[in-house]
Amino acid sequence: MYLLWLRVAAVLYGLASVSALPAVLGDRPGWRRVCLPLTLSGWLFHVVAFVEMLAVTHHLMPVGMHEVQSTLSLLIVTAFMLIWLRYRTISFGVFALPLAFLFILVPAIGPDKYTFPSSMVRSGWIVIHVTLLLAAYAALTFSLLASLFYLAQERRLKHRHSPKFLEWLPPLDTMDQIAQTTLVLGFYCMTGGLLIGSFIAQEHVGAAYFLDPKVVLSFVMWLLYVVMLFVRRSTGLRGKRAVYLSSAVFVVMLCVWAANLLSSVHRFSAQ
């Protein structure tokens, strides 16, 4: 029975993760009122599943890989809720909730690996996975270009004798909005792409997916992306510093992309 409660908790964590993005990055209070009840409900189901799991396995502590992953997910959500109770902030939900969902995903599937009903369904999810990640790269590229154009336009406005060919550039506020919007859009795409990729890969390699160094590097890249969003939003970063920050994350993304092309985990799509 605990598997049912674990699956309910996984669904609620997934919905809470989706609502946390606009609540924190978009500063929309309405989404905050959705995120917290979903998180609390998922946590309650998770606690019930955890207690029943230990009772069924006759253990006082988690032993197997699935049990450890489920426990880690529960601890992450517990820490997030304690932070919210003490400081009344859900900013850490952007980190905590997707990670909790990621760790609970494989245990919620069950002791056996999930098998897609057909190769067509599996291929469809792979297409979505690849499309979302490519969209994230494209969005970050546009954000970097907008930041570069912002810098060029800023220099043109400061100097009286500026090149005429730069007059076609849009206003500074417009380019800043483009840079920020595409950055957030790319983050949504990357988050969805990584979560779907984790779901697909578990069919082929199971929990060992999380032990692949290149996969770990992908999630490190995701964390850097979140840091960049926080820095831009909290400091209003523009000009040279915004260009440097976007360029650094873009270079890391290219390195991760190149590394994943050589990863054994990413060869499952050809099988």
- Tokens 């960049």 belong to residue: 228
Ordered DSSP codes for the chain? -HHHHHHHHHHHHHHHHHHHHHHHTS--HHHHHHHHHHHHHHHHHHHHHHHHHHHHHT-SS--SHHHHHHHHHHHHHHHHHHHHHHH---TTHHHHHHHHHHHHHHHHH-SSPP--S-HHHHHHHHHHHHHHHHHHHHHHHHHHHHHHHHHHHHHHHH-SS--GGGTTSPPHHHHHHHHHHHHHHHHHHHHHHHHHHHHHHHHHHGGGGGG-HHHHHHHHHHHHHHHHHHHHHHHT--HHHHHHHHHHHHHHHHHHHHHHHT-SGGGGGG-
CB 229 within 8 A of CB 186: no
Distance CA 87, CA 71 (A): 24
Lowest mean pLDDT, pick from 31-40, 167-176, 252-261 = 252-261
Mean pLDDT in residue range 121-146? 84
pLDDT above 60 for 213: yes
pLDDT above 50 for 137: yes
CB 12 within 8 A of CB 39: yes
For residue 250, name the pLDDT band (cuts at 50, 70, 90). Answer: confident
End-to-end CA distance of the chain: 34
Distance CA 247, CA 245 (A): 5
Name the nearest CA neighbour of 197 among 215, 217, 223, 213. Answer: 215
Distance CA 192, CA 68 (A): 24
Per-residue model confidence (pLDDT) at position 41? 95
Distances (CA, A) of 148 to 228, 242, 247: 16, 9, 10
- List pLDDT tens digits, range 58-92: 777 777 777 888 899 999 999 999 999 998 888 88
82 Cβ contact list (under 8 Å, min separation 6): none
For residue 210, name the pLDDT band (cuts at 50, 70, 90). Answer: low
Q: Structure tokens of 17?
A: 């993760």
Domain map of the chain by residue range? 2-109, 119-270
Distance CA 168, CA 240 (A): 20
Distance CA 44, CA 221 (A): 31
Query: Is the pTM for the entire model greater than 0.85?
Result: no
**Mean pLDDT of the chain, nearest integer:** 78
Burial class (CB in 10 A: 0-12, 13-18, 19+), 135: middle
